[in-house]
Structure 1
């Protein structure tokens, strides 16, 4: 009889212990109800193997076999993968908003507004070619439009720098996370010899989830519970208790192997914050910065080409080009010459008009300089010097064509079919050839009379041959017409993976700019839609995860009451057994 009472006491003791485990686990769940990434845990009970007693098999109570966490790693991985896409588009959306703000199309200082005003001011000059106020207004506005081009270009360059700095910080955080995951792998593998390290697994998943915010990756679980994490280009970020760093080398992201070898993975990072930053820097910002420069370059060229055909209110006593030839002995139509606009020069001629101190043609008429497919800058200087004893040309130390006169002689130009004057920066309106290097020719800054609104009469049969009038607006009207003239402008497509492609757009200057800004808006809207879609997907997957892993206080309180009642019942068993034992001992 006493052995039977002992069995009851043993069962009661195990029952008390089991319910205590249950209460411990429930308490742990309640305590972590607001802990990010925590997965609900449950104590698993199992009936003990029965034992023979008095000819029958009697149960021996309960064992607590394990404490399991409610988690589905497949769903966890899907959440991480979707988060990687979401954070890619989130970062891109943020930078797109900043980028759209740089162009500021709703402002009076937008390039669109300023381009329109530029043509209007040339129209004002065409109405009053000798007007001082009109010339000053055009000059001042041209300074502003040059500054606006430079400002947007500088802001885009700064955005590029900011993105590189963001990548650098992101790379550092990735390395911190992978090192922490490797340490947790080591702890988990050591602890799970006898039991499941549930809380450490949750901590590791939280870190892995944050890692997915930075870089696209895949997770593989080893037999010992450790994670192997593989990222772009198949490089291993974590393998067991080993973490592998990535680094920013210049503008490239490189993976460092255990042997010290480095692998460039820049163009293989497609998602996460790093992917978004790299896409913004190397594709979107780079494209629009280049397109802006193409626009500025063509705008400068179109105005300069026409301006170089005209004449201001006064002729030149000296002139120096604004563009340098790094190799004055090279053919001007070739890249080797070093001229910014070498590709715009073609075979042709231009007229040089030399005037004496009384503004009379010194040589009876315009003198032609010929440019061919073998002409060098030195050749052009020699040809100009040969035109008249009182004019000479040379190439200065900066590689620029410099023209001077003696005996109070002056000179002017007309009828350039070779485009060489504009390519050399002689008698031009703007200087520079890029958005960042654009400015107004210093010659015009020093004297607004050099704004070339007129044209020299080059008709040899005309009574005004070789002259120009203060009221002549021929060249000003030609520049106004540029507003409606379609030109061929390069338009770029940047792709980190497949490379960059140069296309061509045929449009007016303003049409090209409107297309540029319009495409920027379309790109921004597309990114916002992708962000919204991925946000919905992440929320849905998180809902699935929460339905499996989250702690419900209602459920836990119900479970707690069940454990409490079971504990009380087990305690009652001990009390009853004690009474039975006392009764047995009282029998005489």
Structure 2
């Protein structure tokens, strides 16, 4: 179209296009403080021109422009910066989770301090030293009993607090499972909406911003891999953990088959199966909740008689998360799902039928690794308790064999008999009730050695400086194997001739030094976690600032653009007004 009407159409296109640009600028300003919002830009391009008609087209070169149009509204986003931010969010979530609980564990041990375990161990042996000097008095014996009870109470308390920390970590895992599944469901829905809008040749900018924000939140919980597909769709899968023997790339979001994806289930209970005599069979009943949703009992699933080794049980207990399909059926190692409630009775033959969730980073890895640390510290605390109980009981009972004792000093308070030492741990170690009732039962010297004989009390006091292989104690280690194999057994023979004691081993360590090594290792771990959290904060902040400089809204820039396109809008309005005057001359002026 040429002439005044063509010019009028060009002015109209400029008016409408600038109006769309101003609308986009207004949208940017309105969302300047919206989390996850990416700055949008209206792309202007010329409309299709036409050639002037003439008898000889080659004689008149060029084409006549027809105006301007908004080709698309795009969002300004750097995918590489998104990748970097999500990588660092995963590492930050990992060490933030560790720092949270390792700091709490440090508070439980409370070392070094006047009231910590290290101080109580020293006071315990010092009380025996004083008793060796005043063996005939009941006061010194009472001090030994009280110091011993203070030590066992602190061991019990520390053990119970560590168990409580582990339960808290499991509660956080349960909540994170629920949150992660909700985020995955939201991303799935947004992914389908984005694809539908893109198929219609529109840019779903705001929907993609919401999806990217959810992906950021998901990456802070565990490592993910994102694959871009056509029509702005994405596939999301898990990132492979180099130390885990799990299938690589479990699908969480799919653009083509959105329902053929995996979800997380929370293992709420792992109960051992007992035989007719009440002994563990080595199998376990595993209870988990679909999507981690424990509010509805319909989501509860019990997998019966799963054969687990000790290592497999520990891994599942520390992990507490299993892979399921979208319906809540357990995934197997081949990626296929199987209904654990199928069959009569419903059973799973082995742990290989259950795929544990082993994240490469994120909050999940932090919480799971802390549980592993807590189990390690509980085990070390049990070794400490066993070493003290076995060594003191051996000297106090004058034998390396617990079956021949007439009066144990330390006992397992959970056993039916007060004199039971079997399965003693930091959680159940206690003073023999008979000794608490009558402190004169504490043996201080050789049998028949007289009231002033303190040789036995001195031998017990000297245990503090004996080198014992505490680190080699196992769950099934009894007193006899501990004394004979780990302490360098000396003479536990005739009590009337010599007080039985231990020689010690050069490969061992003192009891107090062993505990200090445990505390030192905890301190190093905690400092590492704090250092990583601090470093990640700085690094993540720099990446987020770089992303904000690209995708963030600058009010100064938007206001400058607003003024620019306001003038452009007014200029196009002036063109239309001018053409209107010219048309008035052509149409109405010809009447005169």
Tell me the TM-score range normalised by the shorter chain.
0.7 to 0.9
Is 1:235–1:255's contact at 8 Å kept on the other side of the alignment? no
Deviation at 1:428, TM superposition (A): 1.9
Match of residue 489 from structure 1? 470
3-state DSSP of counterpart to 2:202: coil
Q: Distance in 1 between matches of 2:434 and 2:46?
A: 100
The 1:20–1:423 alpha-carbon spacing in structure 2 relative to 1, beyond 3 Å, is: farther
Is 2:322–2:357's contact at 8 Å kept on the other side of the alignment? no
Residue 458 (structure 2) pairs with residue 477 (structure 1): yes
Deviation at 1:261, TM superposition (A): 3.8
Is 1:244–1:256's contact at 8 Å kept on the other side of the alignment? yes
Q: Distance in 2 between matches of 1:572 and 1:424?
A: 111
Residue 189 (structure 2) pairs with residue 120 (structure 1): no
Match of residue 71 from structure 1? 77
Match of residue 66 from structure 2? 60
Q: Distance in 2 between matches of 1:3 and 1:547?
A: 45
Moved more, 8-17 or 503-512: 503-512
3-state DSSP of counterpart to 1:428: coil
Residue 428 (structure 2) pairs with residue 437 (structure 1): yes
The 1:267–1:172 alpha-carbon spacing in structure 2 relative to 1, beyond 3 Å, is: closer
Match of residue 510 from structure 1? 512
Match of residue 362 from structure 1? none
Is 2:331–2:355's contact at 8 Å kept on the other side of the alignment? no
Query: Which of 150, 155, 170 is 2:156 aligned to?
Result: 150
Give the length in aligned residue pairs. 458
Deviation at 1:107, TM superposition (A): 3.8
TM-score, with structure 2 as normaliser: 0.75
Match of residue 103 from structure 1? 109
Query: Which of 264, 268, 275 is 1:246 aligned to?
Result: 264
Q: Distance in 2 between matches of 1:516 and 1:29?
A: 55
Is 1:270–1:276's contact at 8 Å kept on the other side of the alignment? no
Query: Which of 254, 268, 274 is 2:358 aligned to?
Result: 268
The 1:247–1:425 alpha-carbon spacing in structure 2 relative to 1, beyond 3 Å, is: farther
Q: Distance in 1 between matches of 2:405 and 2:559?
A: 85
Q: Distance in 2 between matches of 1:92 and 1:3?
A: 73
Moved more, 228-237 or 256-265: 256-265
Deviation at 1:139, TM superposition (A): 0.6
Partner deviation per Cα, 1:452-503 (whole Å, 9 max, x = no partner): 11113xxxxxxxxxx320000110111111111110012699xxxxxxxxx9
Match of residue 14 from structure 1? 13
Is 1:126–1:473's contact at 8 Å kept on the other side of the alignment? yes
Q: Distance in 1 between matches of 2:454 and 2:142?
A: 17
Deviation at 1:3, TM superposition (A): 4.6
Match of residue 213 from structure 2? 206
3-state DSSP of counterpart to 2:470: strand
3-state DSSP of counterpart to 1:109: coil
Query: Which of 546, 549, 555 is 1:547 aligned to?
Result: 549
Query: Which of 572, 575, 579 is 2:574 aligned to?
Result: 572
Give 5+ residue unaligned stretches, structure 1: 310-415, 457-466, 494-502
Q: Distance in 2 between matches of 1:210 and 1:71?
A: 17
TM-score, with structure 1 as normaliser: 0.75
Is 1:25–1:43's contact at 8 Å kept on the other side of the alignment? yes
Residue 28 (structure 2) pairs with residue 29 (structure 1): yes
Q: Distance in 2 between matches of 1:267 and 1:295?
A: 33
The 1:492–1:579 alpha-carbon spacing in structure 2 relative to 1, beyond 3 Å, is: farther
Q: Distance in 2 between matches of 1:52 and 1:134?
A: 115
What RMSD over aligned residues (CA atoms) do the two structures have, in Å?
A: 2.0
Match of residue 160 from structure 1? 166
Q: Distance in 2 between matches of 1:574 and 1:308?
A: 110
Match of residue 449 from structure 2? 468
Q: Distance in 2 between matches of 1:297 and 1:261?
A: 40
Deviation at 1:268, TM superposition (A): 2.2
Q: Distance in 1 between matches of 2:100 and 2:537?
A: 15
Q: Which structure is larger by alpha-carbon Rg, 1 or 2?
A: 1
Give 5+ residue unaligned stretches, structure 2: 54-59, 240-247, 270-316, 333-353, 413-423, 475-485, 487-504
